[in-house]
Amino acid sequence: MLNAALLEGIVQLASEGIISIDAEERIHLFNRGAEEIFGWSAAEVVGKPLEMLIPARYRPQHHAEHLPRFAAAHETARRMGERREVFGLRKSGEEFPAEVSISRVDVDGRRMYNAVVRDVTERRRYETALQRSNAELEQFAYVASHDLQEPLRMVASYTQLLARRYQGRLDPQADTYIRFAVEGAQRMQALIHDLLALSRVGTQGRALAPVDTGDVMAGVLRWLGPALEESGGEVAVGALPTVTADAGQLQQLFQNLVANALKFRRPDAAPRVEVTAAREGAAWRFTVRDNGIGFEPEFADQIFVVFQRLHTRAEYPGTGVGLAICKKIVERHGGTIRAESAPGAGAAFHFTIPDPSA
Alpha-carbon gap, residue 238 to 240, rounded angstroms: 6
CB closer to other proteins out of 11 and 192: 192
Least distance from C-beta 164 to other proteins, angstroms? 7
Q: Max CA-CA distance within the chain?
A: 99
CB closer to other proteins out of 34 and 198: 198
User: How many CA atoms does the CB half-sphere of 193 hold within 13 Å?
Assistant: 11
CB closer to other proteins out of 36 and 147: 147
Q: Are 284 and 334 in contact (CB under 8 A)?
A: no
CB closer to other proteins out of 150 and 229: 150
The 10 Å Cβ neighbour count of residue 81 is 17
Least distance from C-beta 252 to other proteins, angstroms? 16
Q: Is the C-alpha dihedral spanning 230, 236, 240, 245 positive or negative?
A: negative
Least distance from C-beta 154 to other proteins, angstroms? 5
Q: Are 265 and 233 in contact (CB under 8 A)?
A: yes
The backbone torsions φ and ψ at residue 130, rounded to the nearest 5 degrees and listed phi first, read -65, -45
CB closer to other proteins out of 161 and 236: 161
Least distance from C-beta 306 to other proteins, angstroms? 21
Least distance from C-beta 163 to other proteins, angstroms? 9
CB closer to other proteins out of 161 and 269: 161
Reference 307, options 204, 200, 198, 203; nearest CA is: 198
The 10 Å Cβ neighbour count of residue 262 is 20
10: left (phi over 0), alpha (psi -120 to 50) or beta: alpha
Query: Rule CB under 8 A: which residues touch other proteins?
Result: 149-150, 152-154, 156-158, 160-161, 164, 186, 189
